[in-house]
Structure formats: structure tokens, C-alpha cells
Amino acid sequence: MALLEVTNLSISFGGLRAVEDFSVSIEKGQLYGLIGPNGAGKTTVFNLLTGVYKPDEGLIHLEGKNITNLRTIDINKEGIARTFQNIRLFKNLTVLDNVKAGLHNRYHYSAIEGILRLPRFHKTEKIMNEKAYELLKVFELEGEADYLAANLPYGKQRKLEIARALATGPRLLLLDEPAAGMNPNETKELMDTIRFVRKEFDMTILLIEHDMKLVAGICEELTVLNFGKILTSGETSEVLNDSRVITAYLGE
């Protein structure tokens, strides 16, 4: 059984078909790419997978469970986490507290326990601090744990966003153009980070990306979207040599 099975997903906005009959099957542990020109519908697919949008048609199954119309928070609890093309950190919180925010769907205490600082509050906070520091060490961010997220360099903000997503305990990680705005050295470091996350966390990853060098270097299979429809799918080397893909990008 595939980890993610998407069947004939479609959505329209004001009569415009933004995504039409999108289907994909992603196996556990796979690093899969979703590419296409600007406006092709890639981020819309991510928004459908994470419950930001509800599809007009189609089904989304995660390890056989239908999650199609669940709320975003419930989809996250089922095991899908994401990052965004435009980094969305809590920039006025510390690096540590950003990661702890991701842990709150796994560790709980009541409002009363928090206000009165009851034993359960202290125990839970201790656990979350330890778990958050563990993740920060993985991304070599423990030295900046007390910094405001807004004060991190751009590349480290990207790492922090991935760390926060992993804090939710996902089975599937969606990365929306993680190399956007990065210089070549930062992109190379990001590729190493993605490989590490996949291996260290036994993570399945679905990646949107415009950087073809990055895509070619880490993705095993690709689906190409154009005008909301699948142009082609298959092994990365075959897809990137497909004349239809080349034409789609040249015509961007």
C-alpha cells in the first residue's frame, strides 16, 4: 500500500480549473518531486493535501485512510506536515519556541494547568524542551535556541521551518520550494539536509521545486504539472529529458 494515494483531485476558483484530475502514488520512504512552471497548480495541490482547500472532486488517502475533507489540524495529526515557499515562522518567538509550537499537537496540558502552573504543566514543558533541543541539535541550531526566529540568517530560517514541521511527528513531509531565495552554497547545504532528514527520520518527502539541479540531485520520481493538469510523470531522468517538459519551462 502506498503511503499517499491521490486520485483525480480537482478544484476550481471562479470558474477557472486550477487543478484537474491530479493523481499520484507515493511509496513510504520515497523522495518525490512535483514541478512545473509558475501558476501550474503545484502549491494548490499542497493546499488540497493539507486541508487549506477542499477539493471539488477526488480522494486523498494516507496509508489507506481517507483524509480528503479533514481540517488542516486533523490532517497534521494524521501525519502530514509542510513548509512554505515564503517562510512562515513565528518570527517574534524564539527558535526554541518555534519548534515547541510544532510539538503542541503531541503533548498537551489544560489551560487551568498552564495558568496555575500545576505539575502536569511543568512535566509537559520539560519534555517539550528536551524534544525541541534534540531537533535543534539535528539542524545545528541549538546555539541559537534563545534567538528570535526573525534574527536567524535566511538559510537557518529554512532549517528551522523544517525542524518545526518535523516536531509534529509526520509520516509525510511536504516542502514547498525550500531552495527559493538561496544562493548555490545554501542550496547545496539544503540538499544535504533533505537527504539527512529522509534517512534520519525515515521520512517520505514530496517536494515542489524550481531548481532543476536540486530536483535532479535528490528526487527519484517526478510529476510535472502545467495549467493544472499532469503533463507527465515518471523517473526523474526520463521526465527531465521529455521535450514537453522542456517546452513548458521555456514557455514560462
Q: Is the pLDDT of residue 171 over 90?
A: yes
pLDDT of amino acid 251: 57
What are the C-alpha distances in Å from 205 to residues 30, 33, 54, 74? Answer: 6, 8, 22, 19
In whole angstroms, what is the distance from residue 47 CA to residue 22 CA? 13
- Give the pLDDT band of residue 45 (cuts 50, 70, 90): very high
The domain ranges of the chain are 94-167
Q: Between 251 and 98, where is the model more confident?
A: 98
What are the C-alpha distances in Å from 252 to residues 36, 108, 247? Answer: 9, 47, 9
Task: Give the whole-number percent of the chain exceeding pLDDT 90.
Answer: 71
First to last CA, the chain: 36
pLDDT of amino acid 107: 65
- Give the pLDDT band of residue 111 (cuts 50, 70, 90): low
pTM value is: 0.91
Point out the least confidently predicted range of 16-20, 188-192, 203-207: 188-192
Q: Is the pLDDT of residue 250 over 60?
A: no
pLDDT of amino acid 1: 84
pLDDT of amino acid 127: 84
Q: Between 189 and 221, where is the model more confident?
A: 221
